[in-house]
Amino acid sequence: MTKIIPNLGKKLRIGRQLTWGSFILLLIVLLLNGLATQMPLSLMIFTFLPLLILVPGLYAERYKTISMLCFVTLLYFVVTVSNLFEADANIFDVAEVVLLVVLFNAAMMFSRWKQYSLYQDDMT
């Protein structure tokens, strides 16, 4: 039996907005960090590719893709935290960590709430 979650529509809307907002801000910060550190274009493409692959599934709001975003976010988190301990760390690295934490939590909850909404739709 699936439990009924109160205000699920509102939670979905907030989760969607937080996920997309932090996702887009993360892409912007990654771009600015790459430009500030004069990262080669090939490495910049390699940096963006794992996130951009997930965009169609995020747009379609597939909960499995949103869950996969959480795993990808963890990989970015590990790299960014290790960058913070280097001598040439900058403010963009701090912004990346903050956005990654927000994105991970927002995507995790959005994925869960999306699953609940699909189960509740099947029950009715």
Q: How far apart are CA 5 and CA 120, in angstroms?
A: 9
52 part of a folded domain: yes
The tens digit of pLDDT for each residue in 33-54 reads 999 999 999 999 999 999 999 9
Q: How far apart are CA 118 and CA 68, in angstroms?
A: 18
Contact of 102 with 22, CB cutoff 8 Å: yes
97 part of a folded domain: yes
48 part of a folded domain: yes
- pLDDT score of 76: 98
- pLDDT score of 5: 81
The tens digit of pLDDT for each residue in 5-21 reads 889 999 999 999 999 99
Using a cut of 0.75, tell me whether the model's pTM lies above it: yes
Q: How many distinct structural domains can be found in the chain?
A: 1
Contact of 26 with 100, CB cutoff 8 Å: yes
2 part of a folded domain: no
